[in-house]
Structures are given as structure tokens and as C-alpha cells.
Structure 1
Amino acid sequence: MNDTAAQGPTRIGPSTRVLLHDLGVRRDGDEWIVGRMATRTFVALPAAGARALELLGEGLSVARTAEVLRDETGDELDIADFVGDLTALGFVARIGDRPVPDAEPPPASLPWLRPQHVRHALHPALPVLAGVLLLAALVVLVRRPGLLPGYRDLLWSPHGSVVLLTWAAAGWTLLFAHELAHLVTARAAGVPGRMRLGTRLQFLVMQTDISGIELAPRRHRLTSYLAGIAVNLSVASALVLTLACTDPAATGHRLAAAALVIALMPLPFQLMVFTRTDLYFVLQDLTGCRNLYGDGLAYARHRYRRAVRSRRRPAGADPSVRLPPHERRAVRLYSVVLVTGTAACVAFMAAVTLPADVTLLVRAAQGLGPAHGLARNADSAAVLLTLGGVNVLWLATRCRDRRDRRDRRDRRARRACGPAATS
């Protein structure tokens, strides 16, 4: 057990001074985004909170900080309580002469990749080049619409196993490139970033956590959010140009057409902003919302409770009322998209995906055994390994994410914190 923790909580008195960890700060409208990159913890502070943080960082005591703020704002602020909030967030390294126990920082993916290695990823010329490439591909498609691919292009070979291997190789390569683009652009902005598997409703996805990009300028934030989509569109554009320059009967042409379909397939999923896709984060940033998904979900739950409320179980206060007007409008509109989209996805899973998966798995299980030939056993085993493996991986990832959220629940920052005025 940590000796400091064993001694019990440190009392925060008027003469207490604190030592803060290295914190990043960015002004955002009337608030300040403050965070610690090492632990990926970020909060929005009012102006008084940012000023209190500055004074505490300069070595002023709790009482002296409160006195300065009283002179500047005219309010009596509870700085001791504010220091307690900062400590809970992991922003305080030492209280008085006692160190504060620190959490283990989450590991970053590709830690050897330094910001100076990828600094050109945020160069303003890159989006222009991607736009020129996309425009050239669109011009080619307008002049030669026959190059526009269809599902038949995926079946480029008469051998099913070769087709499946092509899908897997191209799909995973593009998926890795998509997520690597997020990681590289975030790393260029000084954000560690972490790639791993995740779930979005019934979908198994690969995701990149770029917490900390909140401290970067807006252009860098939007570049990081849109980098994956830009990679897919750039690859697709290059493949269109390749198709225009190759013989339709050549194997390379057919492979390029199949790869083009695979590159375009993930893009419609990005429109499902109710699953927190890349475009969701763009939408959240442009609307100025702090937690569009969380606030939208809270508002949707409130509306549901109002619809089914009774005298014994009142609906409670509207959680969106505490939000600024521009956020309130965005959250209420997003809650409609959230409920509608989630209901549609769950309904599709119940009506189509789940019955199809169960049917295939049952058939595969029935096709195993000595009563069936080698080909039938091999086919059944392949179905069980691929389809069953994906579902098991989804379930394991879902359980891991829920466990992680539960472990972080007590450590998560509130949406906004600051020194509270005392009565």
C-alpha cells in the first residue's frame, strides 16, 4: 500500500500550498479547457477556475488565492473545495509536503513515433492535395461513369477463398491506415493516442483514442478527426485514376475495382453520428458541445421518463437546462438522431443480422461430424471460426469496455468544475 494513501486524506487548510502537474490550457469561448496529457483527463473551467488554477500554480496558498480572487471578482470562493476537485482529477502532484498518489498513465500506441517525426502531417498543404486528388477522380467518373464500381467488382475471382482473402487483406490494411491517420495527426499535435478494438452498438470497430486533442487549435482538431476519412477518399481517388489507366480485362484492373469498393464501404458508416463516428466528433466540435453524446443521452432519458412518468416516479429536472443555449439546441436535436438511429440499428440487428448469424452457426454446427464429408466439415469449421470468432471478439471487447468505464467512473471529471462561491 502507498504510504501516503495509508496516512489518510491530507487536510486542505488556509495555509496549504499545492504543486500541480504539468497541465495544458486553452481558452474556448467563455471557458478554459484544462487537462493533463499524461492521464488524458480534461475539464472545462470558468474564468474564475482558470484564474484560481493559475494562482495556485504560482505557489499561492489557499487563503491567499481566495483573497486575490475576492479582490478581482468580488466573490468569496471556496478554494479548498476546488483543490479537492483538482486532486480527484489527478491534477495535483503534492499537497503541502505530502505527495499525492498518481494513477498509471494509459499506454500509447507506437510510443516510438515522436511528434517531430510526423510534424508534416498537420501541414495545410496536405488537405489541399487530398482535395485535388478527389476532384480529379470525380472528373474522371463524370466523364467515364462506367468506372463507378458495383458489388460485382468484389467478386473479381472465381475462387471464393481468394476473394475472401482479398477482402480481409484489403479491409484490414485500409482499416489500419484509417486509424493510423488519426494517430499520426494527433501525435503531430503532441497527443499520445491509442489504437484498439471497440464496439459501437452491434458493430466491432477499431478506434483511436486521441484524448488531449481538445487542447489543440481547431484546425488541428478537425484535421485529426477527418484524417481517417481523408485516407479512405484519397485511396479511392487513386484507385479511380488507376482504373482509368488500365485494361479492364487485366487482373490488376479487377483487383483495383475490388479495392475501390472496399475503400468506399466504410464511408456510409461515418454518417451514423449516433455511434460516435469520426463525423460525430466534427459535429461536436462545430456545435461547441462538451459532451454531445452524453448530454443527448441524458436528455433522451429525461424525455422518456416524462412520457411514462407517474405521481410516484416524477420525471425530474430537464438536464439540458443547465447547458448554454447553443449547446441546449444542439443536444436536443442530436437526441432525436440518437434515439432514431439506435432504434433502427437494433431493429435491423434483431430482424436481419442476428437471425442470419444464428442460422449460419446452427448449420455449421450440424455440418460437423464423421457423417459428413471432408468438404462439409471444413466449410462448417471455417464458418464457426470466422463468424463465431467475430461474435466472441465483439462480446469480449464489449465486456472489457464496460469494465473500463466502471473503473473510470469514480475518476472521471465532471463536465465543468470550478471554485464554488460560498454563502
Structure 2
Amino acid sequence: MSIMLRSILSLVPLEIRKDKKHYIVEDTDSREFYEMNKVSIEAIYLIQQSFQLSEIERQLKEKYPDEEVNILDFAEQLLDLNLIREIDGVKIETNPKKKESLGFLWISPKIGKFFFNTYAYFIYSLLFVINVILLGCYPSLFPHYKDLFVFNFMVFNIPLLAGLTILLVFIHEFGHILAMRANNLPTKLGIGHRLFLVVFETDMEAVWKLPSKNRNGLYLAGICFDSVILSIALFSQLIFKNEPGVFLGIMKIIVLDTFIRMVYQCCVFMKTDLYYLIENVLGCFNLMESAQQLIKKQLPFKFSQKAEVIFESEKKMVLLYSVFYFIGVFLSVSLYAIFYIPQLLYALKTVLPGLEKPLTSLPFWDAALFSLQILIVFMLLLISWRKKYIRKSHM
């Protein structure tokens, strides 16, 4: 059904909240959020009062003479977002949005507030500074790619790393979960990927219900817990330096894993915790998409891409973010060059010759099982990629 200037629209239930620069519109049925400017919000209010689109356009042009107002284009955008319920009294047939169930409601907000309050954030900040000082003053504590290899047999190193990584990532994400519950917000834990890494992901969409100033702590919650873990591992190496090698080896892996993930947060060309923090502080959302659009426009060859709306007041911030975008790419490449690639090459160089050994020998089975472990990791990564592709294809 086409939308015309004489049309009267009926919208789905919406909640509208003022943000730093613009407004956040929540579709309460699907729990999806959209950023809109003041003119768009005025248009929504007039639509909710059952004015014809032609009358709405006339009022908006009169009230905002310096703004470009095209109510038909705006109505089509609302239709694309499934925010229109009826056109001239005729119900719109759309595919219902799947409302994902959120949980962790069994965690009391009081427990969340115990871990995330003004005093707690001060302690987390202090630990972060102490960690930087320790890594700077004690070069032996600084992680090295060979810290991964605690055991002589590679087949034992991968399960140890996988187990510790899963535990540490869960602790990181549990920080986000507790911070969400501290604000009495529901959430859920899922699985995804960052480039070639399989990761857990906490659904933090509900943070848009909070004022802008209250969101920052939720984005930093995972890093706060990382700082605690890193402090424990660093001090353990200093205090128990005469303990058995396996214990210190585990502490070194914890430092290695946590350090890499904390640096990884600075790779803001992906949507890391720090990326969302930057967006929130600047009050400029869709930074990544806008920066990618800006960067692609400067390239000699053109990409087919969906244009993002860049508000005039945000262009300088998008340009500044583009600089950090490239810094993030550099950091990501550095992590692979300093840690991941040397680890893989060292492991392959150490273990693969074992495949030439007799079938009954330990080196052969070490190489075979190690190869199987690597294959399983890549299979998990492919599953994550496939899920993301399917999700995008249904949007």
C-alpha cells in the first residue's frame, strides 16, 4: 500500500527519550532503538495526533524553515523500520520482529551495585594504573608470545589456554551483566566473533533506556573486571616467584590473555567496549559506519554501500574517529604480528614434525591431537561467521 500526502498513519508503540544531541526512539514491541533529530520527533508527535502527512509537512516547514523537510521520505523510512502499524486505517502486513527474551533477572540489582558504584569504580581505576606501572617497572612481567607454552606437549597447552580464555572472557562479560543488573536492566549472553577470535557477547541494547552519563560505566564494566584479574596475576608472579613452574606459567597465560584483550578494546574499527564508550561520550552514533563511508569516498575505486546519514554537526567528530579507526587497525595488525602469528608458527614448527614419527609415539599423537584442536577452533569460528551472515540476510 502506497503512502500519499493525504495519508494518515498509525505507529507502533514508541518511547521517545532526549539524548545528548538528538533523541532515542524505542520500538517497545521489538526493543529496537533508533536515533532521530528534533524535526523527526516533531513529525512523529504529529503523526500520533492523526494529522494528514500534507498538514504535518506544512507545519514542519513553517516551524523549521532552514531544514529540508520531506514527509513522504520520512514516512517511507518509518515503513522500512516496521514502525508503521496502519495506513489510512488499513493494517500493514509485516514480518513480526522476533523479540528475544532477556534474562539474568535472578541477579538482584543490590548485588550489581556492590560491584559497580562510585567507590568500586575508583578501585578499578587505581588497579588499572597500578597494572601499567608494574608492566613498565618489571619487564619480566610483560607478556611474551611464548608464555602460551606451559607444557612441553602442545596438546596440553591448547586446552589450558582455551579453558582459561573461556573463564576470563566469561568474567569480563559477567562484569557487563552485573553492571546491567545494577541498573535493573535485563540482558543475555551470546556468542560471536571479532575478526578471527570467537568471543562471548553481552546484550547491552537496553542501556539506551538510561541517560547518556549513566551508560559509560556499563561499557567499562568488562575492563574493570579485567583490571582486577590482571592485578592478581601480576602480583602473584611477584609474590610467588619461587612456586612451581606450572603455577607461574598459568599466571603468565592469564597476563598474556588479559593484556591482549585489553589492548584489543582499543581496536575501535570494530565495535569494542571502548568504541561504544566513544560513541556515547561524543553523542555521535553510527560512528563506524559514517567513518567507513567517509574513508571509502576518498578511495580511487568505489564501493557499493548503503549511505549513512551524517549530521552536519558531527562531521568533525567522524573525521577524528577516522584517525582512531586507522590507529585501531594498526594495533590489531600489531597484535597478530607480535603475538598470534609467532605463537602459531612456533607451535607448528614444534609439533608438526611429530607427524613423521611412528604411530605409537607420543610426538605423533601430540601433533595429531593438536591439529584436531586447531580444526575445532576454526569450526567454531565458521559457525559464528555463518550465524552473523544469516542474521544480516534476514534484516
Deviation at 1:255, TM superposition (A): 7.6
The structure-2 alpha-carbon separation of the partners of 1:191 and 1:92, relative to structure 1 and needing over 3 Å to count, comes to: farther
Q: Does 1:301 align with 2:315?
A: no
Of structures 1 and 2, the one scoring higher in RCO (CA 8 A, sep 6+) is: 1
- 2:380 is matched with 393
- Given that residues 16 and 96 in structure 1 are in contact (C-alpha distance below 8 angstroms), is that contact kept between their aligned partners in structure 2? yes
Determine the structure 1 residue equivalent to 2:360: 373
Classify 1:90/1:183 alpha carbon distance in 2 versus 1 (closer, same or farther; 3 Å). Answer: farther
- Over the matched positions of the two proteins, sequence identity in percent amounts to 19
In 2: Cα distance, 1:257 partner to 1:352 partner = 17
Q: Are the structure 2 counterparts of residues 156 and 167 from structure 1 closer, same or farther at C-alpha, using a change threshold of 3 Å?
A: same
Deviation track 1:57-89 (CA, whole Å, cap 9, x = no partner) reads 344444554455456446895444433321211
Q: Please, which runs of 5 or more residues in structure 2 have no aligned partner?
A: none
Compare 392-401 and 274-283 and name the one that shifted more. Answer: 392-401
The range that moved more, 198-207 or 347-356, is: 347-356
Q: Is the 8 A contact 2:260 2:335 kept in 1?
A: no
Q: In the alignment, which residue of structure 2 is the partner of 1:86?
A: 78
Say which of 279, 284, 292 aligns to 1:289.
284
In structure 2, the residue matched to 1:279 is: 274
1:132 aligns with 2:131: no
1:384 maps to a residue whose letter is: S
In the alignment, residue 117 of structure 2 is paired with which amino acid? L
Paired AA for residue 118 in structure 1: P
**Offset of 1:229 from its aligned partner?**
0.3
65-74 vs 208-217, which deviates more?
Answer: 65-74
Partner SS state of residue 85, structure 2: strand
Q: Equivalents in 2 of 1:81, 1:321: separation in Å?
A: 13
- Equivalent AA in structure 2 for residue 85 of structure 1: Q
Once residues 66 and 303 of structure 1 are traced to their aligned partners in structure 2, the CA distance between those partners, rounded to angstroms, is 36
Does the C-alpha gap of structure 1 residues 219 and 128 become closer, same or farther in structure 2, counting only changes over 3 Å?
farther
Count of residue pairs the alignment pairs up:
387
Task: Give the equivalent residue in structure 2 for 1:211.
Answer: 205
The Cα shift of 1:35 comes to 2.8
**Pair 140,90 (structure 1): closer, same or farther in 2 beyond 3 Å:** closer
**Aligned with 2:14: secondary structure?**
coil
Tell me, what secondary structure is at the counterpart of 2:19? strand
Q: Which residue in 1 is equivalent to 2:37?
A: 46
Q: TM-score, normalised by structure 2?
A: 0.76
Number of the residue aligned with 2:105:
114
CA distance in 2, matches of 1:130, 1:240: 20
Judging changes above 3 Å, is the alpha-carbon distance between structure 1 residues 123 and 72 closer, same or farther for their aligned structure 2 residues? farther
Displacement of 1:233 = 0.8
Provide the rounded CA distance (Å) in 2 between the counterparts of 1:42 and 1:377: 54
Q: Whole-Å Cα distance in 2 between the matches of residues 120 and 356 of structure 1?
A: 39
Per-residue deviation at 1:215? 4.3
Q: 1:98 to 1:182 in 2, by over 3 A?
A: farther
Measure how far apart 1:296 and its partner are: 1.5
Is the 8 Å Cα contact of residues 361 and 383 (structure 1) preserved in structure 2?
Answer: no
Distance 1:293 1:11, change over 3 A: closer
Shift of 1:267: 1.3
What value does the CA root-mean-square deviation take over the aligned residues? 4.6
Q: Residues 210-232 of structure 1, C-alpha deviation per residue, up to 9 Å, x if partnerless? A: 23434421232211211110111
Question: Could you tell me which residue of structure 2 aligns to residue 324 of structure 1?
Answer: 312
